[in-house]
Amino acid sequence: MGTGAQIEITSFVMTLIMLCAFTVVFGRFFCGFACAFGSLSDWVRAVYVWVSKKLKKKPVTLSAELTAALSQIKYIVLVVILLLCFKGIYVRLKGSSPWDVFSMLHAGNPALGGYLVGTVLFILILCGMCVQERFFCRILCPMGAIFSLLPVFPYFVLRRDRENCIPGCAACTKKCPSDIGLPENDSIETRGECFMCQKCIGTCPKRNIHCGISGKQKGNEWWFTGIRVVILLLLYLWIGI
């Protein structure tokens, strides 16, 4: 694209198409349960909070308002990457991607010579993960930007019965790593920033959160989670990942 080169259907492109289709059906379940970078973010934040408590210090946390504003950056990152790919520049930027650094470390390869820019960016992202839950996912992830714009099959959207909520509770929003409120039963709205992590379900004192329209299914049942995991694995096997 942009350089006369033929577009190739690589394993990455196939994976992205598959994940987009999966997200339309099940929501951002991949982000909540299968993304390695998301898992790293959870661990880094948990360790930082644990160390802060041991030192009797209050963990630093970005405000919800600031994080919401910063979350628009991921769309800029997505556009920049697409432009770089279109111009044929992205393939020449070896060593500048924090994803490459993370992949090498994850594979047990610490030889990061020539990856100075990527290493610096990766360290900065780790610092961000300390002060904000799901920092990279919310603020910088270009795939997250794509997923957040996709519609979701209504049956798998988490909802709540507003009339059954405790006035002023907001336990679900406080527990949510995206600081978002849940749509109500009669709403057709979906939350693109929802990672489907299901933390809100377990924290609701009224057990008021459910999946879909009927209200009979909570959404965090082990068998339901297992089905989605199996489908995701089968899709990976199908495309040869």
Q: Fill in the amino acid letter for 107.
A: A
Show the CA angle centred on residue 9, arms to residues 13 and 138, nearest 5°.
Answer: 10
pLDDT tens by residue, 118-156: 999 999 999 999 999 999 999 999 999 999 999 888 778
Tell me the per-residue pLDDT of 71-126, one tens digit each, with 9 for 90 and over.
999 999 999 999 998 888 887 887 888 988 998 888 888 888 888 999 999 999 99
d(CA 15, CA 47): 31
What is the pTM assigned to this prediction? 0.85
- Residue by residue, DSSP assigns 43-89 as HHHHHHHHHHHHTT-PPP---HHHHHHHTTHHHHHHHHHHHHHHTT-
Q: What is the pLDDT of residue 2?
A: 46
> Cα separation of 67 and 64, whole Å?
5
User: pLDDT tens, 177-188?
Assistant: 998 887 766 565
Handedness of CA 169, 172, 174, 178 (dihedral sign): negative
Tens of pLDDT, residues 6-33 = 556 667 788 889 999 999 999 999 999 9
What are the extents of the domains in the chain? 36-149, 154-239
Quick check: 58 pLDDT over 90?
Answer: yes
